[in-house]
Structure formats: C-alpha cells, structure tokens
Amino acid sequence: MSIEVTGLNKKFGDFVALDDVNVTIPTGQLTALLGPSGGGKSTLLRIIAGLEKSDTGTVTIEGVDATDLPAQKRNVGFVFQHYAVFKHMTVAKNVAFGLEIRKRPKDEIEHRVQELLKLVHLSQFSHRLPSQLSGGQRQRMALARALAVEPSVLLLDEPFGALDAKVRKELRDWLRRLHDDVHVTTVFVTHDQEEALEVADEIVVINEGRVEQVGTPDQLYDEPANDFVMSFLGEVTHFGGVSLRPHDIELETSPKLAGSVEGTVHRLVRIGFEVRLTVLTVDGDEVAVVVTRAHARALQLREGSTVWLTPAAGATVVPRMAAAV
Amino acid sequence: MTSTEIAAVRPARTPRRSGPRSTLTRSSGLGLGIAMIWFSALVLIPLAAVVVTAVDGGWDVFWSTVTNGQTAAAIRLTVLTAVGVTAVNVVMGPLIAWVLVRDRFWGKSVLEVMIDIPFALPTVVAGLVLLSLYGQDSPLGVDVANTRMAVFLAFLFVTLPFVVRMVQPVLEELDRDVEEAAASLGASRFTTFRRIVLPSLAPAIAAGAALSFARGVSEYGSLVLLSGNLPFKTEVTSVRILSSIENDNVPAAAAVATVLLAISLAVIVLLDVIQRRVAARG
Amino acid sequence: MADTLVHAVPDPAPVEEHRRAPRVRRTPTTYVLRFVATAYLFLLVAWPVSLVVVNTFDDGFGSIGSLLADPDMVVALQLSAYVAVWSVVINTLFGVGISLLLVRYEFPGKRLLNALLDIPLSVSPIVVGLALVLVYGGRNGWFGPTLAGWGFQVIFSTPGIIMATTFVALPLMIREIVPVLEEVGIEQEQAAESLGASAAQRFWRITLPSIKWGIVYGVVLTLARSLGEFGAVKVVSGNVLGQTRTATLAVEEKYLNFDPQGAYATAFLLAMVSVACIVVVAIIRPKNHA
C-alpha cells in the first residue's frame, strides 16, 4: 500500500476540516478524492504532501512514517490548482528545479528535462517564460516539473479546476493516458464527479471532513453507501421513502405491477432523446422520472396524464436520510 | 448529471487560516526576536524616552510648557497650516491623479516624475528650490520668504506626492464598466463622478490626507532657509523643539515633541482603520 | 499517443487579460483639468527645481569645481554616502525580514507591530533626533553613558547619524515589499518545498527573485531619503566641520554663511542623485509591477 493515513484530525480555528480520517491508497493506481468544496479533501491532500500539519494522526508513504517529515523530504510531486509556476524561470528551468536541488549532473538534468517536455508536448516552449503559456500549457509544465524528481507519489490539487471546460476535458483524457504510461501512484482532488468517474481507478468520497465511501467508480455508482454518495454521483429522486435514480423508475399508464403507486404527470420536458417528468403521487411525493422518448410516445404521455410508478428491478436504492439534500 | 449543484448548495466554508494563534517556527521566532530588539532600540525606546521625559516634571509643567505663548503660537501655526495644505491636497491630489490616469498627452510622463521629486529631494534642498522662485531674487517678483505664506508653500511642496500616489492606483483599478453602467442609467458625468467614482476614491483620499497632514505637522528641513523662523510669526513646532534642544532645555523639547508624537500616533491609528475598512470591502 | 493537445501548439494565450486602452473622451473639462494640473506642478516643482540648476551653472562649472576642491565638502559628501549606504543595508535586511514575518506568519501583536512600523513616516525628524539623544546621549542618555563606558560614542558621532537616518527611512522598504509578497502568494514556495528545496534554497531561488523589483524600488527610495535626511541628523550629529557634517547640513551652513553659490551647487549634487534615482527606477521597473 502506497499511502496510509490513519486517525487524521485537523481543525482550522473552530472549523473541523478533517474528522478521524483513515484511508489507504493503493500503489500504482489513479485515485480521486471527491467531494464538495470545503469538505476537507484538499486539506487531506496537503497533509499527505506535508504542506499542512495534522493535529493528530499519522501518514505513511511507501512504508515510511512521514508524519513529521517536512514536505521537502517526502519525495512527493505536488500539482497546484493555480499551477504555482516559478514566474521568473523559463519552462525548462521550472522543470529542472527539483533536479538542480538534488544536484544531479548537468547533462543528466538537460536530458531528463527534454524527455519530460516531450512527454507533456512543450518541447518547443522550453525557453519561454510561463507568462507566455496558456493555462493548460502551464499546468502540463507543472506536471512535468512534479514528475521530474521521480516522486513516489504524485498529488494533484484540483489540477484542472482553473481551466475552461474544453481544455479541462482534453487534459483529463491526457492525464489518464499519461498515468497508463508512467504508473506513478497518483492522487487527485476534484469536486467534479464526472471527472472522478471518468479518470480514476478508485474514488474516495469525502464530505464534511469524513470519508463517506471508498470504491471503484462502478461500486460507488451502483452501490452507494448512503444518500450523500448517491446524490453526489448522479441525479437522485425520492420515492416511497427511498432515494433512487430517476431512470430506475418504471412508469406505466395502468397498475400492472404489484406495489405501484398512482400519480399525475405535473410537468413534462423533452431533452433530446429523453423525456423528464415530474410526477405527483397520491402519497404526496414529488418524483422525478426519466423515460425514453419512444416510451413516452408509446404511452401518449402529457401533462395531467395518470401514471403508475414502480422502482425498477435491480435499481440502486438507499434509504432516504432526513438531513439529505 | 447535475450533482455539482448539490455541492454549491452546501455552505462552502473555507478554512480560516488567520487567528490569534502563532504560526511562528523556531527560526522565524528567533528572527522576529532580533527584529524586535532592533526596532525597540532604534524606534520604540527612544520615542518612549521622549514621553517619559515630558511627563517627568508632572502634568502642570507639561501643560505650562505646551501653552507657553511662543510654543502655543508655533503649534497653532503648524497645525493650521497643515490643515490648510491638506485641504488643498484633497482637491489637487485627486485632480492630478485623474489627469495622470485618464488623460493622454505629450509630456505626461514628465509630470509623473515631477510628483516624486518632492519626496526624493532632500528637504533642505526643497527649501532652497522654493527660495529660488519665491524668494528675494524671484523672477516672478513674488517674495514670500520669511512670511507665513512661505510655510504654506513649503508644506505644499513636501506633501505633494501623498494624495496623488494614494489615489492613482485606485483610480487605475477602478472598473470603468461601473461608470458606463451609471451613465446608461441616465446619470450625468458629474453625478457619476460624485456618486460612483468619489466613494471608491474616498478611502485613498483620506489616507493620503492623513499622511500629508502628518508630514506637514512634522516638517522641518524645507523651512530652515525659507521661513526665517520668526517667533510668533513663522516659527513652526519642529523649529521650536530644536531651539529648546539647543538651549539645553530638554524637558521643554520633550513636552512639545510629545504633542507632535500624539498627532503622529493619531494619524497612524486613522491609517490602520482606513486600511482595515478597505480590506474588509475587498 | 495520438494527442489532441499537440494541435494546441500555436495558441499564445497569455492569461493576463488585455487591459483596455483608456478611452479618452475629450471635453472642455479635460483640457481645463490638464491645464490646472500642469500649471500647478510647473509652478510648484518644475520651475523652482530648474532654477536651482540654472543658478548652479551661473558661472559655468566653476561652483561645482570649487565645491569638489574643498576638502571639508568632500568629507561631507563622503559621510553622506557612507551613512546612506549603511542605512540602505540595515533597512534592506530588516525590511525583508520583517516583511516576510508580517506576510507569512501569524503571531500575537502583529497588527500593532504593523501599525508601529509606520511611525517613522509621520514623526518629525527633530523629534527623532531628540528621541535618540535622550536614549543614547553620552552624558544623560538612558544607555549613552554605559555605551560610552565601553568606548562607544553614538551621539555627535557617525553611529548616531546612521541611526537617525535609518530611523526616518525605516518604513520605505517594508511598504514596498509587503504588497509584492502578498501578491506573489505562498504557492511557489510550497511547490519548491515539495520539490525538495530547503528553507534557504526556497528563499534564495524563489522568494528573493519574486520580490526583486520591490527590493530595488525600496533601495532607491531608502537611498534618496537617507542622502537627504537633514533635521534628525542635525540634532544628533553636532555638525562638526570635516567630521560629522553631512552634505545636507553643509547646504544650510553655506547658505547662512552667505555662500549661496556653494549652497546651490551642493543642492544640485544632492538633487541630481535623487532625481537620477527616480528616473532610473521609472525606466527599469517592469510595467506589471506598477
């Protein structure tokens, strides 16, 4: 196991950022720390990197107790949301920084820098200053800089958060492929569930300073541990005291299935190939249901239609929490 | 998938990093200690010595020294002139800043350099400079040397940069869209200036005015050659203190100096309040 | 890797949003304001300063020449330069250190210290001199007699002049560096730390280059202020000809001794240095550090 975090607590003043966090991050995997803003995931990442000190608890990296080790001795690569480029150094100098600190021979540094710049497609920019690069290019440079020192783990704090949607998506695909090539244990923080589901091998969901669930993207999506995880990873509706996905509700115009609940279509919106319905049930629930356009047409649905709803067989269902959103 | 919206609904509490807690490490604590020893030895202890010496003889002695005719006249002249000069700066400072930021014309960069000259010029040289145009041999035929006008002029010269340099960056940062929005809502240029621009500049003007007042009150160097230091007429507080020192009347010097210190401290407190107010506004 | 990002090569995309060129709406008001500002500055600064230059060269380079031929004057100029250099060195070390502490750390009393550091800006130079005499005066000062017992004379001697000069110029460096440090932020240092740089390496390789222009500007301002200090030096120096008389003291002395030509020449030299400082900084300072 590459990173082991046990019993971590961290407070900023009265604000509890981390509350008894225990996580194990497997070697060679791409792990996402996913959760809402202010939930403590960045704090956890910074504690792993040694940029923040925990109040209690231990951090072990590659079997070495790193709890009291300063950041400079942890051999982690860290990539910041806002790039943290060294503004007064050229791209090549930025990437070479860690190697120069380690007093590697000059020709080795040069060779390694060229190799890395090629990897991140910035070879032709090596003599430019960071201010002459776009945001996406700067972040790739920052990644090369972090990789240059051959870190035992690579930590990325909302690495694509400051980029626009298109570049973000490109970099996301590229990070996944890069990881498949380089295989360094990587942890990245994101609040974007789509990003986590698409890129990560494993996801740690963190909310209000606590770990809600750890698992593969499929596990989290199909077997969410609670209402929070479920709602954070996709659309959720509440029906008959449980939470479930809107597309996991069967809809008929007659009570064919046992246990179905009667309701009236209150609103009907067509979005591309799917149709979104808001159904008011006789039990007083307001349920969101998604059906295909063909299905809706076959049933001749319109606002005011009477329908019967049933949770689909095998649907992901969790009990509804009173406090849930 | 819209669950990111859920994240937005939750109160996004950002970790508070500030607080009364110390984040000093051992080496930075040591650095702070050394810095404080130096700062105390150079500034704090000497200034405390002024106050201690002033109150040594008791309140009555202090009061009679400060209200002594010649001293009181010097303090009155200094404060009133500083107030008058500050008033001029409050008008001229933003005006000059406005011209420097919003206007474009040949030679503007020369004006830019001129603003800094009073700050960089040795004060005694400043006195000499003004004397060359407004003294005995004035090519203008205006001889104000050894009059109260000379004191006013000297203060005006040395305090020139303060309001301009405080207002200028704020004016540069000012979002012109807001002014255009005001105009689109039917405000005249004057109304836009008064209701939109002026309130944004007010803290900077206030800070600059405070600095310029403090500088005026404490001015010495530019006056020695210009004002003649005539008792009851053109003698300012600093000159009064110096003559007490030269007459070996240190308690009297300290008493008057304490009055100046009190004014300086009031200005510092005012500046701090303004800065916090601005920081809170974001 | 068939990478879409390879296509992203030609985009120069500098992030700094292009500042819109100021739209100048010329109305009669514009011209009135321009005229008022220019006239004001001309009468208050430009004309008087130029007259000093003219007066200095009334008889060619003679007055400057005779000034530099006067050994006492040379000593005065040297003393001014010596004191200014010390003041710059001390205030740079102190200013960089205290600015780092103020921006990067939290500690009790920080707000008070921050405000106190501005005091020298608004204290009369005469009060500064008096304060130093009261503490370091050789006869009656709080510490003076003790220091004199160790053979260290402060007042009426060079150390006193250096202290007085350092006092009045103290906030200038801090006021330049603090905003720069705040703007630079801490992330670059943290990035360097995660790349293995020690505290000293972070300071020399990251922090110092980032605040370089702030320091340069601070040095120039401190130098100009130190060269020009007059009142505080007058109180602490004793103004002994050829020993503790600085160039600014000499200006007054010469003028009062009916040697206006000498006074103008000395003033010209001092003004030259100050104006040169400003102009040099205005030219070399990168625009984005305005």
pLDDT, tens only, C110-133 = 988 988 898 888 899 999 999 999
Higher pLDDT, C280 or C169: C169
Mean pLDDT along residues B25-43: 91
Higher pLDDT, A270 or C242: A270
At A310, list the tokens: 């049933």
Residues C102 and B82: their CA atoms lie apart, in Å, by: 32
pLDDT on residue C203: 92
Chains touching B (3+ CB pairs < 8 Å):
A, C
Q: Structural domain boundaries of chain C? A: 23-56, 60-289
Q: Does C255 touch chain B (CB under 8 A)?
A: yes
Gyration radius (Cα) of chain A, Å: 24
At B76, list the tokens: 């009155």
Mean pLDDT along residues B13-20: 45
Taking CA–CA distances from C15, the nearest residue in chain A reads A134
Q: Structural domain boundaries of chain B? A: 27-56, 58-281
Task: For residue C5, count other CB atoms closer than 10 A to its CB.
Answer: 18
Helix (H) / strand (E) element for A238: namely strand A237-239
Q: Which residues in chain C have their CB less than 8 angstroms from residue B36's CB?
A: 113
pLDDT on residue A154: 92
Q: How confident is the model at residue C242 (pLDDT cuts 50, 70, 90)?
A: low
Taking CA–CA distances from C140, the nearest residue in chain B reads B250
Q: How confident is the model at residue C139 (pLDDT cuts 50, 70, 90)?
A: confident
Q: Does C231 touch chain B (CB under 8 A)?
A: yes
Residues A25 and A160: their CA atoms lie apart, in Å, by: 21
Give domain A3-228's CATH architecture: 3-Layer(aba) Sandwich (3.40)
Q: How confident is the model at residue C286 (pLDDT cuts 50, 70, 90)?
A: low
Q: Using the CB atoms, write b or e for A177-216: b if 16+ within 10 Å.
A: ebbeeeebbbbbbbbbbebbbebbebbbbbbbbbbbbbbe
Please state the ipTM of this predicted complex.
0.84
Residues of chain A with CATH 3.40.50.300: 3-228
Cβ under 8 Å to C: B residues 214-273 = 214-215, 217-221, 224-225, 237-239, 241-242, 245, 250, 253-254, 257, 260-261, 263-265, 267-269, 271-272
Chain B nearest C-alpha distance from A112 (Å): 35
Q: What fold does the segment set C60-289 form as a domain?
A: MetI-like fold (1.10.3720)
Residues B127 and B150: their CA atoms lie apart, in Å, by: 9
Sequence-ordered alpha helix ranges (H) in B121-197: 123-134, 148-173, 176-184, 189-192
Q: Which residues in chain A have their CB less than 8 angstroms from residue B19's CB?
A: 13
- Decide if B270 contacts B212 (C-beta within 8 A): no
Q: Which residues in chain C have their CB less than 8 angstroms from residue B114's CB?
A: 41, 45-46
CATH superfamily of B58-281: MetI-like (1.10.3720.10)
Do the Cβ atoms of C9 and A142 come within 8 Å?
Answer: no
Chain C nearest C-alpha distance from B189 (Å): 11
Chain B nearest C-alpha distance from A100 (Å): 25
Chain B nearest C-alpha distance from C12 (Å): 26
Q: Using the CB atoms, write b or e for C15-42: b if 16+ within 10 Å.
A: eeeeeeeeeeeeeeebeebbeebbebbe
CATH assignment of A236-319, given 3.40.50.2000, 2.40.50.140, 3.40.50.300, 3.30.70.20? 2.40.50.140
Taking CA–CA distances from B155, the nearest residue in chain C reads C44
Residues B188 and B206: their CA atoms lie apart, in Å, by: 25
pLDDT on residue C15: 41
pLDDT on residue C25: 63
Do the Cβ atoms of A51 and C190 come within 8 Å?
Answer: yes
Please count the CA atoms within 13 angstroms of the CA of B265 that sit on its side-chain side: 12
Give residue-wise pLDDT tens across range A183-197: 889 999 999 888 899
Mean pLDDT along residues C35-40: 92
Nearest one of B165, B180, B260, A41 to C131, comparing CA atoms: B260
The rounded percent of chain B whose pLDDT value lies above 90 is 30
Choosing among B2, B5, B6, B24, which should be mutated to test the A contact, i.e. which has the most A CBs within 10 A? B6
| Average pLDDT per 10 consecutive residues for chain A, totaling 325 residues | 88 89 91 90 92 91 90 90 90 93 92 92 92 91 91 91 85 87 90 90 93 91 88 86 86 84 91 90 89 89 90 82 48
pLDDT on residue B17: 45
Residues B269 and B275: their CA atoms lie apart, in Å, by: 10
Chain A nearest C-alpha distance from B270 (Å): 29
